[in-house]
Chain A
Amino acid sequence: MALLKVDSLKKYFPVKKGFMTAPALVKAVDGIDLSIDEDRVFALVGESGCGKSTVARLILRLLPPTSGKVLFQDKNVFELSGDNLKAFRKSVQIIFQDPFASLNPRKSILDTIAEPLRIHRIVEKKKIKEKVLELLNKVGLGSDILNRYPHEFSGGQRQRICIARALAVSPKVIVADEPLSALDVSIQAQILNLLQELKREYKISFLFISHALNIVNYFSDAIGVMYLGKIVEHAKTEDLFRKPFHPYTEILLSSAPTIKVQSDELEIRSKNVKLRTRNLKLKNGLGEVPSPIDIPPGCPFHPRCPKRFEPCDKVIPVLKESGGRLVSCHLY
C-alpha cells in the first residue's frame, strides 16, 4: 500500500513581466503523480529548475499547491489542520541540501535536536538530554558535542546533526533534497551509508532528490525523471539504468562521467568507442533547458531531442505505460 501518494499535483508561480501586463506563469510543477510505498526509496532526478525541490516543498506542505492532492495514509495533506496536521508534520521530515544553511547558528546542538522533541512531546522533559544523546549516537556523533554550536563542525558532521534532528520524531517518510551534493566524495559515502542503515533499522521511506545518478542508482528503488515540471519517465531503478526509454533519460545517463577500469588493451579500446558515440549523441541533443515561462509547444523536450520526428513539436505526449514503466514520448 502506498504510504504517500501525489495526485496530479500542480504549482504555478506568477511572475510579473511588466507594469500593467498580466503576470506570466511559471509552471514549476505541472501535473505530477507518484507514490511511495513503505520502506521504499523513490528518487526524483532532473536538471536544476525542473521542479524537483518544489515537489518536495509541496509534499511537506511548505507551499500551497495550485491544484492536486498529496495523500499521506489516504488523507489529503492540504486539508489537515490542528492535531492532525501536527501528527503529519511528525511523520514527514526533511533533510536539506546545504547543512551550512539549515542549522540555526545560535542554537547549541542540544537545543537544535531537543526542539522537535519538546514540540511533539516525544519524551518527558527530564529525559530529553538522554534521548538527544541516543540520537547523536545513532548518527555516529559523540556526547561531547552537546553544548557546541554549528560553526564548529564540518559539512559532513552538520549533515549528521540534520539527520539526527529529522530522526528525533521517528518519521515514516524523510524527504532528502540533495542531501549529499554539498559534501566531499568520501563524506558522501559516509552519509549514504548512514541513510542506508537508518532505512534498514527504522523502515523509513525516502523521497530522494538528487542529480547524481550513480548515487540514485545505488540508493533508490524507483525513479521519476522530471523535465520542466513533468515526470517524463517513471520506472524501477534497475529497469531505468538497464535501458532508458525516454531520450531525455538517455541523455542524462550518458552525460554523467564514469570511471571504467580496464584490465587489458581490448577494453580500453571499447571504452574509447563508447566515449565517441557518447559525444555524437550529445552533439545531436545540444542546447539548454528552455525557460519555464515559455515552455515549447508539443513535447517540451523536442528542441533538445536527438530523436524528434513528425508529431513532437505539435502534440504533447502523455505519460503512458510501456514495457512495465511509464514514459511520455511519441516513440512509445
Chain B
Amino acid sequence: MSLLTLRSLDISFRSTNGSIKVVSDLNLEIEEAEVFGLVGESGCGKTLTALSIMGILPQNAFAEGEIIFKGNNLLTLDRESMRKLRGKELSMIFQEPATSLNPVLTVGYQVAEVLTTHMGISKKEAINTTIELLKAVKIPSPEIRIKEYPHQLSGGMKQRVMIAMSIACKPSLLIADEPTTALDVTIQAQILELLQRLREDMKMAVLLITHDLGIIAENAQRVGIMYAGRLMELADVSELFNNPRHPYTIGLLESLPEEKGTPLKPIPGFVPEPDRLPPGCKFSDRCRFAIPQCKEKEPELIPLSIASNNSNHSSLITHHSSLHFVRCIRASEKLWHF
C-alpha cells in the first residue's frame, strides 16, 4: 500500500461570489521511500497541494476529497491529531529558509523544540540530539551553531537547519517545496545531495516540488506535471523525459535552451487566471496541437496504454505505458520526437 494517496482532491478559495477552484481532481500516490517530483509553473497549485497535505491551507481556502496517509484520511482528522502528525510523521521545508525560521530564537532552540514537543524527551537530551542532527546535515561546529540566531547563518546553512528540524522526528514523508530555488547552484547541488542521502538512510519519502526539470531528472523517481490545478502527466522520470506525451510537458522541454543559434520554441501566451480557464482541456488555448474536440470536453487522466488501445496506434505501447498517465485526447499519437 502506498504511503500517501490523494484521491479526487479539490482545493478552492472562498470569494465574495462563490468559490474558485484552484486544484481540481488530483489523484496520485506516493510510495514509501521514493522521491516524487511535482512540477509546474507558478500558480499551478503545487504549493497549495503541499499545504493541504500538511493541513496548513490559508484561512480562506478549503480542500475536498481524500488525503490518505498511512490509512488515515487527513481531511477528517481533528486538529489535535493533525497537530501530532505534523512535524512528526509529516514535515515540510519551504522555499525561503530566511522567512521560515524564527529570527528571535536560536537555531538550537528551534530544532530542539520539535524534539521536546513530539518525542517527549528532556531538554538536555534534545540539545544533544540537536547537535547530532546538525552534524547529520553537515553544519560545521554544531556546538557553537546551536547558540546562534538565523541571521548569523548563510542561506544554505539556514536551509540545512530547516532540514535538520524537519527530519528530527524521522518523518515518513518530507515535503520539500522549492527547497533550492533561493540558493546558488553549488549550494543547491549540496542540499539536494544531502536530501538524497538522508532519504536513503531514513527510508523517508520525499515530495519534491520544483519548477526545474533538471532537478527532477536528477533526483526524482516519478514525476507529476501540473498545469492550471490539474495533473497533466504522470510517469517514471526516464519515461517522462524519453517519451513525453502531453503537449504541456513537450512545451516545457522545448522551452529549455539547447542548441545555440536555433530559436527556442516557447509555449505561447501565459497561464490563465483560475476563474478564466478555457472550456474543455485547460491547456487547449496555448496548445499548438489543439484540435476542435479539445475545447469540447476536459480529458481524463488515463493510462497511456488505455489511451493507445482506444485508437489505432497500439503499436506504440511500451512496458512503461501502464504506469504512464496522460490527460490529453491526442496522447496516443506520438506528437513529438527529439
Contacts and interface: CB of A to CB of B under 8 A. Distances in A.
Contact of A156 (B184, B217, B270): B270
Which 10 pairs, one residue from A and one from B, show the smallest C-beta to C-beta distance?
A257-B214, A218-B257, A189-B266, A189-B255, A186-B267, A184-B41, A255-B189, A47-B184, A190-B266, A189-B264
B81 interface: no
Contacts of B199: none
Given A257-B192, A262-B242, 8 more contacts: A184-B271, A193-B266, A257-B189, A261-B242, A263-B242, A282-B190, A288-B154, A289-B154
B338 interface: yes
A48 interface: yes
Interface stretch (A55-63, A64-72, A208-216, A322-330): A208-216
A145 interface: no
Contacts, number: 117
Interface in A188-230: 188-190, 192-193, 196, 211, 213-215, 217-219
Contact of A193 (B211, B251, B264): B264
Contacts of B192: 257
Contacts of B238: 262, 268
B260 interface: yes
A186 B255 contact: yes
A285 B186 CA distance: 9
A48 B186 CA distance: 11
A10 B124 CA distance: 50
Contacts of A155: 42
A255 B255 CA distance: 21
Contacts of B213: 185, 259
B252 interface: yes
A279 interface: yes
Nearest to B189: A255
Interface in A239-261: 251-252, 254-261
Nearest to B212: A257
B303 to A, nearest CB: 22
A286 interface: yes
A170 interface: no
Given A186-B41, A282-B193, A288-B157, A259 B187 contact: no
Nearest to B244: A261
A186 B268 CA distance: 8
A187 B219 CA distance: 24
Given A186-B41, A288-B157, A259 B256 contact: yes
B188 interface: yes
Interface of B: 41-42, 138, 154, 156-157, 184-190, 192-193, 211-215, 217-219, 238, 241-242, 251-258, 260, 263-268, 270-271, 338
Contacts of B251: 186
Interface string A281-308: 0100110110000000000000000000
Contact of B338 (A193, A196, A261): A261
A237 B217 CA distance: 25
Given A258-B217, A288-B187, A188 B255 contact: yes
Residue picked from B185, B193, B271, most chain A C-beta under 10 Å: B185
10 contacts: A47-B184, A185-B41, A186-B41, A218-B258, A251-B186, A255-B188, A257-B215, A259-B253, A259-B256, A263-B242
Contacts of A252: 185-186
A215 B256 CA distance: 8
A202 B266 CA distance: 22
A48 B213 CA distance: 22
A259 B254 CA distance: 12
Contact of B217 (A186, A260, A263, A288): A260
Contacts of A157: 270
A259 B241 contact: yes
Contacts of B156: 288
Nearest to A45: B185
Contacts of B188: 255, 257
